[in-house]
Chain A
Amino acid sequence: MEPCEFPDIEQQLAPIFERHGRESSRLLQILLDVQEAFHFIPPEAVTCIAGHLGLPRVSVEGAAGFYSFLSLKPAGEYRILFSDNVTDQMLGNPELMQYFCNKLWLEPGKVSEDNLVSADRTSCTGMCDQGPAALVNGWPLTNLDQDRLDLIAELIRSKEPISRWPPILFEVKDNIRRADVLLGDALEPGVAIKAALERGADATLREMETSGLRGRGGAGFSTARKWSGCRASPGLAHYIVCNADEGEPGTFKDRVLLNSYADLVFEGMTIGAKVMGSAKGFLYLRGEYRYLLERLESILARRRATGLLGRDILGVTGFDFDIEVHLGAGAYICGEESALIESLEGKRGRPRNRPPFPAAHGYFHQPTVVNNVETFACAARIAAQGGKWFAAMGTRQSSGSKILSISGDCARPGIYEYPFGVSVKEILDDCGGEDVYAVQIGGPSGILISWKEFGRCISFEDLPTAGAFTIFKRGRDILQVVRNYAHFFAHESCGFCTPCRVGTQLQKKIVDKMANGNGTSSNLEELKHLGHIMRTMSHCGLGHTAANPVLDMLDKFPGAYEKKLKNLAFEPAFDLDSALETARKISGRDDPWAHLP
């Protein structure tokens, strides 16, 4: 379909421009608003935005083309994106999507002829404990089944605005199954900040050091070291960034923290601001959690009204700090801290060269601390209750607790908080995982462990994790799991460096070939070689870890692929004879030369 014409685009965009001003860092937020208003980014709008922000047109189009929730072509008034995470797949999402498409005469990935609706897939939407899930124009749909899809199809046919759809469709539960120090007794808003103010910035930083707190995003860098590095770096301004771009498939703890513990997180950021002398903070919220935006804004407004944010916090003259929520738009790579900063600046989420690290050169090249949501929540608890108290929990090198997002084959999926050091077996017992065969710890970029390793412990010493804990029972096809992850990485690679851009594609092709029963032993060698190149040559963490699931499978689950290999040194990637079928039909030939063995 030809894009419609928008002669009066400038008038239509005026209110959006007024909201955002002329800073180029607002580009992504402007594009998101345009997408919401027009259901795509019309070419006329690209030109207009470029003029308004004083950017080359190609920068605007480049950013719009980078993020999967932005669409440069009409994507329908209703755009349904089915979550493609492995847990959603196991709950039947591919079949549901097919059912939905058949019902509305849709072809996946294409807009209906009346430009009303389109259906496609998207990476994990963070609803793994209440899937199958999808997004409609960015709003999460949970617990999908055929009945709900019938209802949704009906609502779309009658062009009912999404705001009037039954709320039950959008119900998102916290599902907190086990709370410990972080999720336990609520902390009165302001208590932690008061404690930090009484103690002073230096002493608060010392408490952080005593606590031994390490980053909860998975890499586990010492928070005190990051903070003091940023604090010591000279700059025009210091920035605090909370990384809520929770894109790792199978992780959904930040969603719960922001839904029910946002005060604790903002409190942690404010304490960081005190320590680093920062006046400005950002919460980078992944596009999939856009539904939390209004709620978070109202909490921020309440905190401003009660003197916990804004000018002269808690009456301390000169302690000014405010937080702005910045929305992402469906790009896993933006969870990488330097890509996140690029995205905050309004650009494509392309990882930067490191060093220099963000602590010295971050947001607009000023010292910036980027911490995980959970890390800030921990920081608030430490400020309130002391570093020693925190360090007393967990193991030697992993103090405190860890929130796990448990999903997959178990009776009680949801949020579980444990002190570090808990064994996989104990977790499986608690969540009702029976006859478990494998667990993916920390999502696709983490570690795939087999039933032989269930004695291992969640900790930075043994099994580090950002929180995903995806369970597979006996009988699940591990090759299909790994295939899902290989497709995920191929889709999410930002395309900047060749080892990752090409490596993830080749890896996907070979795993597909194996899953289709055409794999050979030489393919295994190829995968190992490829994995080595990606691990050692890629530009950022995405490429470094993208081969993990494949390599773990080769190492620990020979049964998953061996029986599917053809026992030959080589096998074509496709069926030669059936690739001739079309031409046979066209020419009406069936002679021996029109066939291949």
Chain B
Amino acid sequence: MDEKKKIRVATCSLAGCFGCHMSLLDIDEKLFDLLGMIEFDRTPFTDIKHCGSCDIGIVEGGVSNAENARVLKEFRDNCKVLVAIGACAIDGNVPALRNNIDLWDCFREVYLYEGGLEGNQIPNDPELPLPFDKVYPIYEVVKVDYFLPGCPPSADTIWKFLTDLIEGREPKLSYEMLRYD
């Protein structure tokens, strides 16, 4: 078997909207080229529940709850290179809008005062991820090797970034790929 060993990639979305994953799918027919070079470990595409040993981990979304932190640490422990993709992973972005609202006020508003609720109580099931006081960017929780900005980064940007990384080059993005207006 002289086929080159494929690069193993894991992806996940924490406190994000899956928009970055959608943008990855937007590379369209190049997906076939991509799958020729890599194989997926844990991703929303494979439904693998835990991340195994990987070359590249791609994380979308910020850290909003304990579950996010656990997944993120698992990615860091298993991936040689960790990439923060999109604005939420980089700085919290839209989910972090809640950072200015006290968590108590938030819970009270949603679970106690909102009309149409029955038996008002704050949920306490251990199955539910417990939220942090704030939404954090992922670099505050683990070491991040690369930041790929954009909301979301365009398909072309993701393609260029991944192919650079897969082929062992330092990723280089042109000015056009990093401007958003």
Q: Evaluate contact between B104 and A587: CB separation under 8 angstroms.
A: no
Residues of B within 8 A of A581 (CB): 133
* A588 proximal to B (CB < 8 A): yes
A570 at the interface (CB under 8 A from B): yes
Closest Cβ of chain A to B142, distance in Å, is 6
Instruction: Give the Cβ gap from A577 to chain B, nearest Cβ, in Å.
Output: 9
Q: CA–CA, A368 to B66, complex, Å?
A: 60
Residues 556-597 of A contacting B (Cβ, < 8 Å): 569-570, 572-574, 576, 579-584, 586-589, 591-596
Instruction: Tell me if B119 counts as interface (CB < 8 A to partner A).
Output: no
For B104, the chain A residues whose CB sits under 8 A away are: 582, 586
Q: CB within 8 A of A570: which of B70, B107, B131, B142?
A: B142
A582 touches B103 (CB 8 A): yes
Distance in angstroms between the alpha carbons of A581 and B66 in the assembled complex: 11
Indicate the member of B66, B126, B140 with the most A CB atoms within 10 Å.
Answer: B66
Q: How far, in Å, is A53 (CB) from chain B's closest CB? A: 34
* Docked CA distance A579–B127 (Å): 19
- Whether B140 pairs with A573 at a CB distance below 8 angstroms is yes
Question: Which chain B residue has the least Cβ–Cβ distance from A522?
Answer: B143
The size of the chain B interface, using a CB distance under 8 A, is 22
Q: Name the A residues within 8 Å of B131 (CB-CB).
A: 580, 583
Contact of A588 among B124, B142, B143 (CB under 8 A): B124
In the complex, are the beta carbons of A591 and B132 less than 8 A apart? no
Q: A589 to B142: give the CA distance in the assembly, Å.
A: 26
User: A583-B103, A594-B66, A596-B70 in contact; A589/B130 too (CB < 8 A)?
Assistant: yes
Contact B126 A594 (CB under 8 A): yes
Q: Mark A413-454, 1 if CB is under 8 A from B, else 0.
A: 000000000000000000000000000000000000000000
The answer to whether B133 and A579 touch across the interface, beta carbons within 8 angstroms, is yes
Which residue of chain A is the closest to B127 with respect to CB atoms? A593
Query: Is A583 within 8 A of B133, CB to CB?
Result: yes
Partner of A594, one of B69, B103, B123, B130: B130
A573, A579, A583 — most chain B CB neighbours (10 Å): A583
Residue ID in chain A nearest B140 by CB atoms? A573
Closest CB-CB distance, B30 to chain A, in whole Å?
A: 33
Least CB distance from A520 to B in Å reads: 9
A584 to B70, CA, bound (A): 17
Q: Please state if B69 and A596 are interface contacts (CB–CB under 8 Å).
A: yes
A589 B133 Cβ-Cβ under 8 A:
no
Residue contact A580 to B132, C-beta cutoff 8 Å: yes
Residues 142-180 of chain B: 1 if any A CB is under 8 Å from the residue's CB, otherwise 0? 110000000000000000000000000000000000000
Q: Which residues of A contact B141 (CB under 8 A)?
A: 572-573, 576
Closest to B142 in A: A570
Question: Given that A522-B143, A594-B66 are known contacts, is A579 also in contact with B130, CB under 8 Å in the complex?
Answer: no
Provide the bound-state CA to CA distance between A386 and B104, in Å. 73
In contact, B130 and A593 (Cβ under 8 angstroms):
yes
Question: Residues of A contacting B66 with CB < 8 Å?
Answer: 580, 593-596
Q: Which of A573, A574, A587 has a CB less than 8 Å from the CB of B122?
A: A587
Closest partner residue, chain A, to B144 (CB atom): A570
Chain B, residue nearest A571 (CB): B143
Q: How far is the CB of A567 from chain B (nearest CB, A)?
A: 15
Smallest beta-carbon distance A417→chain B, Å: 49
Q: Which of B126, B136, B143 contacts A593 (CB 8 A)?
A: B126
Given that A580-B130, A593-B130 are known contacts, is A569 also in contact with B124, CB under 8 Å in the complex? Answer: no
B123: contacting residue among A570, A579, A587, A591, CB under 8 A: A587
Interface assignment of B134: CB less than 8 Å from any CB of chain A = yes
Contact with A along B53-75 (1 / 0, CB 8 A): 00000000000001001100000
Q: Are B130 and A574 interface neighbours, CB within 8 A?
A: no
Which chain B residues (81-117) contact chain A, with CB distance < 8 Å?
A: 103-104, 107
- A147 to B67 CA separation, bound complex (whole angstroms): 52
Residues of A within 8 A of B129 (CB): 593
Contacts A570-B143, A572-B141 known; A587 to B124 CB distance under 8 Å? yes
Task: Give Cα A573 to B70, complex, Å.
Answer: 16
Please name the residue on chain A nearest to B123 by beta carbon.
Answer: A587
CA–CA, A199 and B122, complex, Å = 87
Contacts of B123 in A (CB 8 A): 587
- Docked Cα-Cα span, A574 to B136, in Å, equals 10
Query: Measured between alpha carbons, how far is A438 from B126 in the docked complex, in Å?
Result: 54
**CB neighbours of A570 from chain B (8 A):** 142-143
Q: How many angstroms from the CA of A525 to the CA of B129 in the assembled complex?
A: 35
A286-311 residues with Cβ-Cβ distance < 8 A to B are none
- Chain B residue numbers with a CB within 8 Å of A580 are 66, 130-133
4 tightest CB-CB pairs across the interface, nearest first?
A570-B143, A573-B140, A591-B126, A587-B124
| 23 interchain pairs, CB-CB under 8 A | A522-B143, A570-B143, A572-B142, A573-B140, A573-B141, A574-B140, A576-B69, A576-B132, A579-B136, A580-B130, A580-B132, A582-B104, A583-B131, A583-B132, A584-B130, A586-B107, A586-B122, A587-B107, A587-B123, A589-B130, A595-B66, A596-B66, A596-B70
Further pairs besides A573-B141, A584-B130, A587-B123: 18, Cβ < 8 Å = A572-B141, A574-B136, A574-B140, A576-B69, A579-B132, A579-B133, A579-B134, A579-B136, A580-B66, A582-B103, A582-B104, A582-B133, A586-B122, A587-B122, A589-B130, A591-B126, A593-B127, A595-B66
